[in-house]
Structure 1
Amino acid sequence: MTDVRYDGSTLSFALRPEGANLDFPFTSDPEKEKIKGYIKPDCEVLADGKPITFSNTETNGANKSLQYFAKGVKLPDEFELSIKAEVTKVKEAFDFKVPVKLKSKPLVVKPDVSKTSGKFTYTVKQLVLSPFSTRLILDSQGPVPASAEQSGKYHASPVYYELLDNNGNEIAPEMIGFFNKKPETKYHIDKFYYPMDDKATSITIKPYTYTINSKNWAILEEKGSNGKMTNKKTYLKDLELTIPIKTITQK
């Protein structure tokens, strides 16, 4: 077990098999489960004896490790992390116990500020900034604003939120989800982005929508600046919002 991290909002660690020359760190393929050395993806994780549910896993090809992430968890500043992992063709499970200490608490900004366009309103409840992630928490209500293009055989997607720092650098989302259904009129968003520059002094939120074909749910595309086709974004300029950040670096 390596790379144990807790930043007050996200817990992560990596498991890496050693002594086995495998193409991948884990498998859920019944045929490969006959081979010794693969990590079984479902492992038991406890913090001070209480179970933790992980949000997602990622593989790291460089060192053939399996990275686990639990996002939005609230844990003590100090706790014991216990992990029980099983490996294919190995009878005994591997048990790990490691003390974890929060070195610095994340910066939590609670602007509680709203922007409105037509009947659509969103309110930013929190920004949680740490060395490992940027977390945006907001509530929205009302029908999604639609452009003239987003009518007839097309409709607007739910609203997505692009983040930029004061230098214009994008803070990319860790994941973007697409859904084959019309937008709802009420959302609670709790989304993780990659960490922002610790010298940044503000975050600008740029809401946007995609244009969806109502028949086959395909996203309308356009040619990007690099000449390649990309999903077309319709920015909702009336809903842009800049939130000042006093300091991000924690001592």
Structure 2
Amino acid sequence: MYTISLNTMKKAMIATAVTAVLGGTVVGGGFTVPVAAAVNVNKDAKAGSVFAISDNATLKAIFQKGLAAAPNQAVTQEGVTLTLTDLIYDSNELVAGIRQEGGTVGKNGSFMDQTRNVDVLINGKKLLFDTSIIPNLEDTDTALIYLSKGAMKQQIPDKFDLTLKAYANGVKEPFIFKVQVNKLGTLLSLKPGVSKKNNKFNYTVNSFQMTALTMSLQVTFKGEVPAAAKSKVNNPERMLYDLVDEKGNVVSPWGKPFEKVKTSGTEEQNYSAFPAVPKSISVKPFTYSKDASGKMFKDKQGQWAKTYYKDLETKITVK
């Protein structure tokens, strides 16, 4: 078990919070936003915030804490108006909230044209991101755009000018938004160096980082992971790591099951953030079960079935 003191970290966080409000701006939420705007967006969840009505608990918490920017930039093309209502970024992910008026909602529940890519320019340079557009089926005039860094190694500064080009159904021209962005601050940064092994596989947790938006776990590993229980595929599987806080909140990594299996190396797995800075983090290695065709099995809850490796589990305690 690994233990770290938070006393020094808390002092740094307080200093950052004090600095953030100097000069009439709020910077700690990841973007430079006028103080008045940050206060107003917290007072009225019905003012247009897409984060506020999202079913994503992390984004709701970010909105309630006033951490997201509220650009409220509106662009109109051919009678359709898209408004960029919310925006937040850390080194792993950028999330934008979009509200529409006058557009057409497709059969997929989205007013956004998902046949055309969302273009992202950082300081005028086009970069590539893994992109997801998630419509809100309870309010089809809203959607979330998730941009994650994926496997691409791209150098992005802590502060930059963002150009976001998105498309709406039936509208030829893009909707172009331009915003100045500051990276969201880190809430927790650990370098545990803790290792676990069995007779076939070993790994070391090199680092863990958490912001209000995402978390990342870097591990170095070696060995083959046997096929999961109930799996009809005999090939070695990719080892993944669930993270569990002291309250039982469980988060799983993004996208990794479909990447090429390696028998050694160093990799980073990324997650949505816990609701609060944890007092402890349990690392639970697992693999997914697959049928003969490589398709994931599902459990009784309709989720992909997992096989956990209890002899490889470890716990990091934060004091």
TM-score, length of structure 2 as denominator length: 0.59
Match status 1:159 vs 2:206 = no
1:77 maps onto 2:150 in alignment: no
Query: Using a 3 Å threshold, how does the CA distance of structure 1 residues 70 and 116 change in structure 2: closer, same or farther?
Result: same
Q: Aligned to 2:219, what secondary structure does the other structure show?
A: strand
**Is 1:204 aligned with 2:282?**
yes
What is the letter of the counterpart of residue 71 of structure 1?
K
C-alpha displacement of 1:130: 0.9
CA–CA separation in structure 1 for the residues paired with 2:165 and 2:250: 38
1:150–1:140 Cα change, 3 Å: farther
In structure 2, C-alpha distance between the alignment counterparts of 1:65 and 1:146, rounded to whole Å: 38
Counterpart of 2:4?
A: none
Q: Measure how far apart 1:165 and its partner are.
A: 0.7
Counterparts of 2:294 and 2:232, CA distance in 1: 14
1:74 CA drift (Å) = 5.5
Partner of 1:112: 193
Aligned mates of 1:219, 1:54 — CA distance in 2:
25
Label 1:14 to 1:219 Cα distance change in 2 as closer, same or farther (>3 A). Answer: closer
Give the C-alpha shift of residue 81 in structure 1.
1.1
Q: Which runs of 5+ in 2 are unaligned?
A: 1-83
Q: 1:142, 1:173 → 2: CA distance? A: 20
Contact kept, 8 Å, 1:52 with 1:70, in 2: the verdict is: no
Counterpart among 105, 117, 120 of residue 42 in structure 1: 117
Q: Match for residue 217 of structure 1?
A: 294
- Cα-to-partner distance string for 1:194-246 (whole Å, 9 max, x where unaligned): 21132421111111234444x43355666x4xxx6765433212211112335
Match of residue 113, structure 2, among 27, 41, 48: 27
* In structure 2, distance between residues paired with 1:152 and 1:55: 30
| Residue 19 to residue 229, structure 1, CA distance change in 2 (3 Å) | closer
Q: CA deviation at 1:188?
A: 4.0
Q: Distance in 2 between matches of 1:197 and 1:88?
A: 35
* SS class of match (1:76): coil
Counterparts of 1:51 and 1:161 in 2: how far apart (Å)? Answer: 32
Identical aligned residues as a percent: 32
Q: Which moved more, 1:68-77 or 1:111-120?
A: 68-77
Q: Is the 8 A contact 1:109 1:128 kept in 2?
A: yes
C-alpha distance in 2, partners of 1:152/1:6?
A: 40
1:198 aligned partner, one-letter code: A
Q: Is the 8 A contact 1:110 1:125 kept in 2?
A: yes
Q: Is the 8 A contact 2:134 2:143 kept in 1?
A: yes
Runs of 4+ in 1 over 4 A off after TM superposition: 86-92, 149-156, 218-222, 228-232
Equivalent position of 1:233 in the other structure: 306
CA contact (8 A) 1:156 1:211 kept: no
Q: 1:46-79, CA deviations, whole angstroms, 9 ceiling, x for partnerless residues?
A: 2222323222212222343241313376633332
Name the amino acid aligned to 2:177: F
Query: Which residue number in structure 1 is paired with residue 134 of structure 2?
Result: 59
The code of the aligned residue for 1:234 comes to T
Query: 1:151 Cα shift?
Result: 9.3
Is 2:159–2:183's contact at 8 Å kept on the other side of the alignment? yes
Choose the corresponding residue for 2:95, options 4, 7, 12. 12
How many residues align? The count is 227
Shifted more, 138-147 versus 196-205: the winner is 138-147
Distance change (3 Å), C-alpha of 1:209 and 1:77: closer
Q: Which has the higher helix share?
A: 2
Shift of 1:87: 4.4
Q: What is the distance in 2 between the residues matched to 1:211 and 1:21? A: 40
The answer on whether the counterparts of 2:230 and 2:289 sit within 8 Å (CA) in structure 1 is yes
Question: What RMSD, in angstroms, separates the aligned Cα atoms of the two structures?
Answer: 3.3
What secondary structure does 2:311 align onto?
Answer: helix
Change in 2 beyond 3 A, CA 1:50/1:231 = closer
- One-letter code of the match for 2:238? P
Query: Matched residue of 2:257: which SS?
Result: coil
Which residue identity does 1:168 align to in structure 2?
A: G
Structure 1's 104 and 20: CA in aligned 2 closer, same or farther, altered over 3 A?
Answer: same
> Partner residue of 2:40?
none
Aligned to 1:192: 270
Contact 2:92 2:270 (8 Å CA) reproduced: no
Aligned partners of 1:77 and 1:101 also within 8 Å: yes
